[in-house]
Chain A
Amino acid sequence: MEKAIIMAACALGAGISMFGGIGPGIGEGYAVGKACEAIGRQPETKGDVTTTMLMGCAVAETTGLYSLIIAMLLIFVAPGLFIGKL
């Protein structure tokens, strides 16, 4: 019984922690939209704008990746850790 509760809590926690993926999604979408606007206005700067945009996107992704790490820890590490202590 306790085992089932722990597994369920870990799975739920992992799912909830991935809500953190919403932030980078919105942010990166905004950044890419602005980059498209910039390229539309000045098509000759396409290379520079694309490089800068990819850099910014990768940096903005970090918060989402933190929540991904938490989710992976909850799925792969936490159940063994807590069930071992029962």
Chain B
Amino acid sequence: MNVEITGARIFLRLPFGILITETQVNMWIIMLVIALLCKWLTHNLKIKPAGKRQVVAEYLVTMANNFVVTNMGKSFKSFAPFIGALFTLSLLCSLSGLFGLYPPTADLNTTLGFATVTFVLIMYYKLKTNGLKGYLKGLAEPIPVLAPFNIIGEFSTPISMAIRMFGNISTGVVISTLVYAALAWLSSVVLQWLPGALASIPILQLGLPAILSIYFDLFSSVLQSFIFCMLTVLYIAQEAKSE
């Protein structure tokens, strides 16, 4: 039996080493879906909600606002669109595995991109509250010998956030590929007494992969997106408040 576990496939090689991979193409599809969804949810709004569509849109916006206000405080309400966008994008990226697409978040580049945005925001708020001098002084605490460890600690935040999401989603991809291959092999062994093409139908692939998919695709995706947003919110709020 052959098991093929690959990363994102490369579709096109542009000059200067720019690659158009499956990740990017799937990301474009998801961006298009989100844009169309937003357009559909928000067109033709009325002061008194007419249909279910506007109620859903208002509920989503209220949820994002509440999430940010309860975790960061009232002064950060302007963060709600960013957090909402981050959550929607990462959730739909992970859930695209359900439709047979290669989830873009199973590529370390995507999650590192998300984490870099968070890292820049954290650094901005750190420098804003402490000032450059205070920030550099903070690196040499409690004793100057520990400065290298503090610097590593600064960079470990985005790396651990990126690896957490990438690890969870890509594990799902790898394990479901392995389970599919193993079940195909098992059913070909069990059914080999059947004549002709009937034996090559992988009938055992029914059932078990669906249960695994509920955990790896649904539960893991929602949880990881939620945790990514929660950590972003908590880190930023912590840096902005620590005077």
The interface residues of chain B lying within 8 Å CB-to-CB of A55 are 227, 230
Given A55-B230, A68-B171, A69-B167, A62:B160 Cβ within 8 A: yes
- Determine whether B188 belongs to the interface, using a CB cutoff of 8 Å to chain A: no
The interface residues of chain A lying within 8 Å CB-to-CB of B230 are 55
- Determine whether A61 belongs to the interface, using a CB cutoff of 8 Å to chain B: yes
The listed residue with most A CB atoms (<10 A of its CB), out of B167, B168, B170, is B167
Q: Looking at the complex, which one of A54, A69, A76 makes contact with B163 (CB distance below 8 Å)?
A: A69
B6 CB to nearest chain A CB (Å): 9
**A54 to B160 Cα, complex, angstroms:** 17
Q: In B133-164, which residues have CB < 8 Å from any A CB?
A: 160, 163-164
Using C-beta atoms within 8 Å of the partner chain, give the interface range for chain B. 10 to 19
The answer to whether A76 touches B171, judged by C-beta atoms less than 8 angstroms apart, is no
User: Which chain A residue has the least Cβ–Cβ distance from B230?
Assistant: A55
- Determine whether B19 belongs to the interface, using a CB cutoff of 8 Å to chain A: no
- Determine whether B197 belongs to the interface, using a CB cutoff of 8 Å to chain A: no
**A72 to B168 Cα, complex, angstroms:** 13
**A76 to B7 Cα, complex, angstroms:** 10
A17 CB to nearest chain B CB (Å): 13
The answer to whether A65 touches B167, judged by C-beta atoms less than 8 angstroms apart, is yes
In terms of DSSP, what is the predominant structure of the interface of chain B? helix
In terms of DSSP, what is the predominant structure of the interface of chain A? helix
Q: In A55-69, which residues have CB < 8 Å from any B CB?
A: 55, 58-59, 61-62, 65-66, 68-69
User: Which chain A residue has the least Cβ–Cβ distance from B227?
Assistant: A58
The answer to whether A54 touches B168, judged by C-beta atoms less than 8 angstroms apart, is no
User: Which chain A residue has the least Cβ–Cβ distance from B108?
Assistant: A69
Q: Looking at the complex, which one of B7, B168, B223, B227 makes contact with A65 (CB distance below 8 Å)?
A: B168
The interface residues of chain A lying within 8 Å CB-to-CB of B167 are 65, 68-69
User: Which chain A residue has the least Cβ–Cβ distance from B156?
Assistant: A62
**A3 to B226 Cα, complex, angstroms:** 44
The answer to whether B164 touches A58, judged by C-beta atoms less than 8 angstroms apart, is yes
The answer to whether A61 touches B164, judged by C-beta atoms less than 8 angstroms apart, is yes
**A69 to B111 Cα, complex, angstroms:** 14
- Determine whether B23 belongs to the interface, using a CB cutoff of 8 Å to chain A: no
**A68 to B230 Cα, complex, angstroms:** 23
**A14 to B171 Cα, complex, angstroms:** 14
Q: In A34-72, which residues have CB < 8 Å from any B CB?
A: 54-55, 58-59, 61-62, 65-66, 68-69, 72
A19 CB to nearest chain B CB (Å): 16
The answer to whether B227 touches A54, judged by C-beta atoms less than 8 angstroms apart, is yes
A contacts, CB < 8 Å to B: 54-55, 58-59, 61-62, 65-66, 68-69, 72, 76
7 new A-B contacts, CB < 8 A, other than A62-B163, A72-B170, A76-B7, are: A54-B227, A55-B230, A58-B224, A61-B168, A65-B163, A65-B168, A68-B167
* 23 A–B contacts from the bound complex (CB under 8 Å): A54-B223, A54-B226, A54-B227, A55-B227, A55-B230, A58-B164, A58-B223, A58-B224, A59-B227, A59-B231, A62-B160, A62-B163, A62-B164, A65-B164, A65-B168, A66-B163, A68-B167, A68-B171, A69-B163, A69-B167, A72-B170, A72-B174, A76-B7
